[in-house]
């Protein structure tokens, strides 16, 4: 019997990074009575992970639900960064429509295009929410035109083009059908969702089908599969079979232990659930993204989205520096390998491969940010390891011609810096696609550039634009190899011996370049402690002390002035290192080092290669 769940709506909130998705979910949760009147609620409550809070970005999609006038609206908050596009692609399989959030000043950005294309390809109805309408520089009329142009460019059909526009300010919790927001209520958006997004429907009596789109993990109950019931009804303690459309050989009999539905920020246990519900199931050990749960007698797998391929790779290896094992809990190759393979269970865009060396693993992802978040998570969990310079993954066509991933880069920058930006991207094999004069002295320039040309550019860009430029990039296509790109033009300052840095040693070294360490820091021979603008690697003795003499005591040089060291973030270190260098990652430190620590062996290796 085909039923329509009129009391349920399943939606995803999609947008470019920083356009206010998570803040909008906060407003919807608060106004639907999810929190008690006196409850203290932190901002961006959906960004639960430490890194998400610090960076102000969403990395993992999150499920929640709100009740509105007796109806249940299941909401999925998705990431905006293209590096986490795998998350967006798969959660759209769980919903019947999307709310596309666009900043009222910035308008559609690269990731807006990326996430909207995914939604339109799946024929999902779209509600456009023009957010931050209370910004003084908001330009809603122009942004509407830009959005409609984008719909047409992406081949939207007539029905999709007639989508409703709602004007919102997630920060003050207001929505309106007019470009100015007067009331402080999200009711207009709620009503639009109820009226425009179709209710889920399906046959509640037919054989069960639940497509697993997300995996969560809990130390106590193990793996948790999250997905939407496409047809049928699921009950606790039911026997079922897991099949996978992409892996026809998979056929695993299981028992459904517990079933949960989402109520606000909590999971609530239920005895059974039917068509249209988004549920979490436990007790199934090897459940994976893309699996379908079916009755044993009807193993009928649902097709799953093809996840975009990785474009960048780096090598993770065990830490073999002189300081190995001092700061981390998990240091062996088995521990690092198990952790990397565990990440595959929840991250569909990641690839991990064993290499010829037992202590090294090749890890491929969607971009530098994607891999740096994994590194940061492992570091915080107590892992110690080393990583190599990121390298781009090339492909070859039928004629054996080398193809490389190209990125489309959108830059919003003050007109005074346009010349510098165009010059720098030109040196990195970037081609100018378009340039438009934007409002209030800012211009928008769009480049097509090889992905390898962007490695190391972001921090340079911020320096060139005095921190005022905005740069966004997104994978475009594989195109013929564009030729060699000149790498970094600075050399490394390398510690000559192991010990603790002294003011006296650093004072002499700082005349050679910019230092990455201050006084009183433990260093080892072969560790990179600074950069040299002349482009050569220079060894410096930063641990030497001033000897006592008849004339002055050894401590009389404490008045020497040191410039503040440049403390490298992980992203900056990844951008800085060369092929003959590694980053040592521990729970307490990032250290840059030479692959070959011994100066004589380094010299011989260079001579022979």
Q: DSSP of 343-377, one letter per residue? A: HTTT-TT-EEEE-SSTTEEEEEESSHHHHHHHHHH
Nearest to 316 by CA among 288, 341, 293: 341
Q: Percent of the chain beyond pLDDT 70?
A: 86
Indicate the range of 20-24, 244-248, 345-349, 567-571 predicted with least confidence: 20-24
For 519-552, write each residue's pLDDT tens digit. 899 999 999 999 998 888 899 999 888 766 555 5
Indicate the range of 5-9, 67-71, 557-561, 569-573 predicted with least confidence: 557-561
The alpha helices in 59-206, defined as continuous H runs, are 85-91, 110-121, 140-153, 158-161, 187-196
Q: Do domains 2-199 and 202-294 have the same CATH topology?
A: no
Domain range list for the chain: 2-199, 202-294, 395-480, 491-608
Tokens 């939606």 -> residue: 11
The alpha helices in 385-455, defined as continuous H runs, are 418-427, 451-454
Task: Tell whether the model's pLDDT for residue 332 goes beyond 80.
Answer: yes
What was the pLDDT predicted at 82?
45
Distance CA 393, CA 488 (A): 20
Task: Tell whether the model's pLDDT for residue 454 goes beyond 60.
Answer: yes
C-alpha distances (whole Å) from 415 to each of 105, 419, 436 are 18, 8, 11
Distance CA 219, CA 236 (A): 21
Q: What is the pTM of this model?
A: 0.70
Q: How many residues does the chain have?
A: 609
Task: Give me the mean pLDDT over the 18-31 stretch.
Answer: 67
Tokens 């079922």 -> residue: 240
Task: Give me the mean pLDDT over the 442-455 stretch.
Answer: 85
Distance CA 554, CA 506 (A): 16
Task: Give me the mean pLDDT over the 588-593 stretch.
Answer: 93
Quick one: tokens of 538? 């220079």
Which of the two residues, 115 and 253, has the higher pLDDT score?
253
Class of CATH domain 202-294: mainly beta
What was the pLDDT predicted at 306?
65
Distance CA 268, CA 283 (A): 16
Class of CATH domain 2-199: alpha beta
In the three-class reduction of DSSP (H, G, I as helix; E, B as strand; rest coil), residue 214 is classed as: strand
What is the band of 483 on the pLDDT scale with cuts at 50, 70, 90? confident
Task: Tell whether the model's pLDDT for residue 489 goes beyond 60.
Answer: yes
Task: Tell whether the model's pLDDT for residue 13 goes beyond 60.
Answer: yes
For 392-422, write each residue's pLDDT tens digit. 889 888 888 999 988 888 888 888 888 888 9
Distance CA 524, CA 497 (A): 6
Quick one: tokens of 70? 């007796």
Task: Tell whether the model's pLDDT for residue 336 goes beyond 90.
Answer: yes
Tokens 């595959």 -> residue: 344
Burial class (CB in 10 A: 0-12, 13-18, 19+), 134: middle
What was the pLDDT predicted at 218?
66
Beta bridge partners of 444: 412, 436
Task: Tell whether the model's pLDDT for residue 583 goes beyond 90.
Answer: yes
Task: Tell whether the model's pLDDT for residue 567 goes beyond 50.
Answer: yes
Task: Tell whether the model's pLDDT for residue 443 goes beyond 50.
Answer: yes
* Average pLDDT of the residues of the chain: 80
What is the band of 81 on the pLDDT scale with cuts at 50, 70, 90? very low
Q: Phi and psi at residue 524, in whole multiples of 5°?
A: -130, 160
**Cβ count within 10 A of residue 325:** 13
Rounded to the nearest angstrom, the gap between the alpha carbon of residue 381 and the centroid of all alpha carbons in its chain is: 18
What was the pLDDT predicted at 410?
83
Task: Tell whether the model's pLDDT for residue 257 goes beyond 80.
Answer: yes
Distance CA 562, CA 543 (A): 14
* Contacts with 546 (C-beta within 8 Å, 6 or more apart), sequence order: 504, 554, 556, 557
* Contacts with 39 (C-beta within 8 Å, 6 or more apart), sequence order: none
What is the four-CA torsion angle of 43, 44, 46, 52, rounded to 10 degrees?
-120
In the three-class reduction of DSSP (H, G, I as helix; E, B as strand; rest coil), residue 227 is classed as: strand
Rounded to the nearest angstrom, the gap between the alpha carbon of residue 49 and the centroid of all alpha carbons in its chain is: 12
Q: Percent of the chain beyond pLDDT 90?
A: 16
- Give 395-480's CATH code, choosing from 3.40.309.10, 3.90.180.10, 3.30.70.240, 3.30.70.260: 3.30.70.240
Which of the two residues, 547 and 132, has the higher pLDDT score?
132
Question: 255-279 burial by CB neighbour count: b if 16+ within 10 A, else e?
Answer: ebebbbbbebbebeebeebbbbbbb
Task: Tell whether the model's pLDDT for residue 29 goes beyond 80.
Answer: no
> Is 556:548 a contact under the CB 8 Å cutoff?
no
What was the pLDDT predicted at 316?
95
Distance CA 309, CA 518 (A): 41
Quick one: tokens of 459? 């921090």
Nearest to 471 by CA among 459, 482, 485: 459
Distance CA 23, CA 33 (A): 16
Task: Give me the mean pLDDT over the 444-458 stretch.
Answer: 83
Which of the two residues, 549 and 517, has the higher pLDDT score?
517
Beta bridge partners of 519: none
> Is 408:433 a contact under the CB 8 Å cutoff?
yes
Quick one: tokens of 241? 């079979």
For 136-178, write each residue's pLDDT tens digit. 878 888 888 888 988 888 888 888 888 899 888 877 777 788 8
**Cβ count within 10 A of residue 112:** 26
Nearest to 7 by CA among 281, 280, 277, 279: 277
Which of the two residues, 51 and 502, has the higher pLDDT score?
502
**Highest-confidence segment of 3-12, 438-447, 518-527:** 518-527
What was the pLDDT predicted at 492?
92
Quick one: tokens of 483? 């030729």
What was the pLDDT predicted at 561?
83
For 217-233, write each residue's pLDDT tens digit. 666 777 788 888 888 88
What is the DSSP code (8-state) at residue 315? Answer: E
Distance CA 575, CA 151 (A): 36
Burial class (CB in 10 A: 0-12, 13-18, 19+), 190: buried
Residue 312 has, within 13 A of its CA and on its CB side, a CA count of 23
For 182-191, write each residue's pLDDT tens digit. 667 788 888 8
Distance CA 228, CA 209 (A): 9
Element (H, E) at 54: helix 50-55
For 269-303, write each residue's pLDDT tens digit. 888 888 888 888 887 777 877 888 888 888 888 88
What was the pLDDT predicted at 304?
76
- Return the axis-axis angle of helices 333-343 and 368-380, rounded to nearest 10°: 130
Strand spans (E) along 376-503 = 385-387, 391-392, 395-396, 402-414, 431-437, 442-450, 470-480, 491-495, 499-500
> Is 508:540 a contact under the CB 8 Å cutoff?
yes
In the three-class reduction of DSSP (H, G, I as helix; E, B as strand; rest coil), residue 264 is classed as: strand
Query: Does domain 491-608 correspond to CATH entry 2.40.50.250?
Result: yes
């Amino acid at each position: 019997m085909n039923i329509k769940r009129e009391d349920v709506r399943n939606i995803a909130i999609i947008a470019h990074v920083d356009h206010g998705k998570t803040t909008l979910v906060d407003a919807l949760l608060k106004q639907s009575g999810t929190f008690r009147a006196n409850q203290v609620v932190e901002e961006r409550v959906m960004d639960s992970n430490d890194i998400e809070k610090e960076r102000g970005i969403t990395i993992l999609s999150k499920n929640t639900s709100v009740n509105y006038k007796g109806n249940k609206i299941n909401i999925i908050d998705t990431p905006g960064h293209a590096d986490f596009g795998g998350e967006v692609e798969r959660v759209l399989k769980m919903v019947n429509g999307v709310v596309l959030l666009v900043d009222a000043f910035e308008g559609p950005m690269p990731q807006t295009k990326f996430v909207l294309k995914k939604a339109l390809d799946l024929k999902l109805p779209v509600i456009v929410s023009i957010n931050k309408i209370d910004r003084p520089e908001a330009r809603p009329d122009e942004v509407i035109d830009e959005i409609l142009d984008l719909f047409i460019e992406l081949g939207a059909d007539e029905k999709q083009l007639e989508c409703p526009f709602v004007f919102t300010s997630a920060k003050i919790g207001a929505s309106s059908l007019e470009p100015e927001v007067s009331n402080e209520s999200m009711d207009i958006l709620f009503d639009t969702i109820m009226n425009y997004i179709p209710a889920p429907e399906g046959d509640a009596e037919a054989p069960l089908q639940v497509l697993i789109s997300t995996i969560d993990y809990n130390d106590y109950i193990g793996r948790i599969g999250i997905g939407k019931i496409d047809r049928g009804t699921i009950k606790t303690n039911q026997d079922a079979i897991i099949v996978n459309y992409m892996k026809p050989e998979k056929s695993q009999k299981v028992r459904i232990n517990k079933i949960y539905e989402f109520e606000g920020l909590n999971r609530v246990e239920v005895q059974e659930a039917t068509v249209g519900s988004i549920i979490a199931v436990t007790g199934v050990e090897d459940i994976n993204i893309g699996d379908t749960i079916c009755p044993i007698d009807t193993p009928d797998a649902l097709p799953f989205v093809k996840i975009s391929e990785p474009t960048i790779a780096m090598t993770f290896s065990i830490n073999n520096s002189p300081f190995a094992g001092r700061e981390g809990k998990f240091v062996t190759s088995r521990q690092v390998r198990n952790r990397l393979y565990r990440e595959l269970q929840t991250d569909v865009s990641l690839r991990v491969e064993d290499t010829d060396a037992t202590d090294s693993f090749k890890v491929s992802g969607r971009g530098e940010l994607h891999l740096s978040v994994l590194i940061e998570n492992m570091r915080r969990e107590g892992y110690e390891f080393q990583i190599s310079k990121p390298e781009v993954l090339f492909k070859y066509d039928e004629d054996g011609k080398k193809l490389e991933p190209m990125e489309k880069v959108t830059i919003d920058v003050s007109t005074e810096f346009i010349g510098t930006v165009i010059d720098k991207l030109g040196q990195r094999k970037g081609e100018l696609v378009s340039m438009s004069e934007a409002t209030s002295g800012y211009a928008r320039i769009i480049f097509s550039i090889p992905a390898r040309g962007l490695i190391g550019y972001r921090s340079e860009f911020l320096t060139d634009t005095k921190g005022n430029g905005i740069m966004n990039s997104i994978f475009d296509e594989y195109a013929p190899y564009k030729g060699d790109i000149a790498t970094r033009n600075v050399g490394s300052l390398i510690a000559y011996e192991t010990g603790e840095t002294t003011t006296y040693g650093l004072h002499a070294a700082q005349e050679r370049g910019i230092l990455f360490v201050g006084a009183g820091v433990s260093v080892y021979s072969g560790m990179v402690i600074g950069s040299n603008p002349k482009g050569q690697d220079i060894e410096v003795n930063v641990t030497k002390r001033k000897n006592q003499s008849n004339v002055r005591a050894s401590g009389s040089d404490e008045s020497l002035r040191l410039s503040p060291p440049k403390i490298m973030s992980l992203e900056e270190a990844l951008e800085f290192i060369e092929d003959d260098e590694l980053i040592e990652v521990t729970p307490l430190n990032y250290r840059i080092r030479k692959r070959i620590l011994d100066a004589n062996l380094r010299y011989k290796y260079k001579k022979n290669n």
